Homo-oligomer: A and B are copies of this chain.
Amino acid sequence: DFLHALDEVKPLFGAAEEELSRRILGDIVHYSRHIEDILEEGRLFINQVRKDESSPVLSVALHGPPGSGKTALAASMSMDSGFPFIKLLSPEDMVGYSEMQKVQQIEKTFRDAYKSPLSVIVIDDIEILLDWVPIGPRFSNSVLQALKTLLKKQPPKDRRLLIFATTSQRSVLHQLQLVFNAQIVVPNVNTQEELAHVLRHSGVFSDRDQQQAVTEIQEMTGSTEIGVGIKQILEGIRTAKQDKDVAGRFARIMSQAIADRTAFA
């Protein structure tokens, strides 16, 4: 039993579970069949690490546009693994760290993971962990080389490790030659049907409001394509809720988001 196992390591590894659940505010909305495919693929990798002793380390990159749900999905899959060691490596916990302190923190997390027979490490926002900026570009080469090495390093005997890493900048991985064993693509909410699914699920929109919003967005943007992340859509719903004209405000916010994406793509 996973929760039981986690309790056992808690004194050593901290409240990994609570941290990860906080990343899944609300639930995972199954607005498209891709969501189930992604979760299924996650289970495949979990089984490989659990059962095949020739795969003692396996690294999987989740990439997709900003706010598409990468962190929530990675957290969800890790929780489902039931592995006794689950740990989130996030830039949020390293604000103000020097490059070397980051490397040490990362290295320590891997060392901790090697103590458990089965472990998952979630590396969130890997491009921020790397201090990546496209101008220059600049990044922390120390962190990069540490990750390159650790993603490839064999754990000690009888230890197995699964690594999920999220990034909204797939090209960064290629430019930096940071190689993963497998890749999972997380999509935006792309069609009007998918958007409608999310709106319905929110409970904020009446059927008419929902239809009006979708129609107005199409009028404002002159297109039926959406292409916005689930996170931004949920945020937009919450802002619009404060306005008397919920549907109109939501349409304006979404159109702005769509226009911005187009302008800076």
Interface residues, chain A, with chain B CB atoms under 8 Å away: 22, 25-26, 44-45, 47-48, 51-52, 54-55, 58, 66, 91-92, 95-96, 98, 100, 103-104, 107, 125, 128, 131, 133-135, 137-138, 141-142, 144-146, 148-150, 152-154, 174-177, 179, 181-183, 234-235, 238-239, 241-243, 253, 256, 264
Q: In angstroms, how far is the closest chain B Cβ from the Cβ of A247?
A: 15
- Known: A128-B149, A134-B175; 10 extra A-B contacts, CB below 8 A, are A45-B239, A48-B239, A48-B242, A52-B242, A95-B107, A95-B145, A96-B100, A128-B148, A134-B177, A138-B141
**A55-B235, A149-B91, A179-B66 in contact; A44/B131 too (CB < 8 A)?**
no
Let me know if B238 and A149 touch, CB within 8 A.
Answer: no
Contact partners of A179 in chain B: CB under 8 A:
66
Q: In angstroms, how far is the closest chain B Cβ from the Cβ of A201?
A: 13
Let me know if A133 and B177 touch, CB within 8 A.
Answer: yes
Let me know if A104 and B96 touch, CB within 8 A.
Answer: yes
**A235-B55, A239-B48 in contact; A175/B96 too (CB < 8 A)?**
no
Contact of A51 among B103, B242, B243 (CB under 8 A): B242
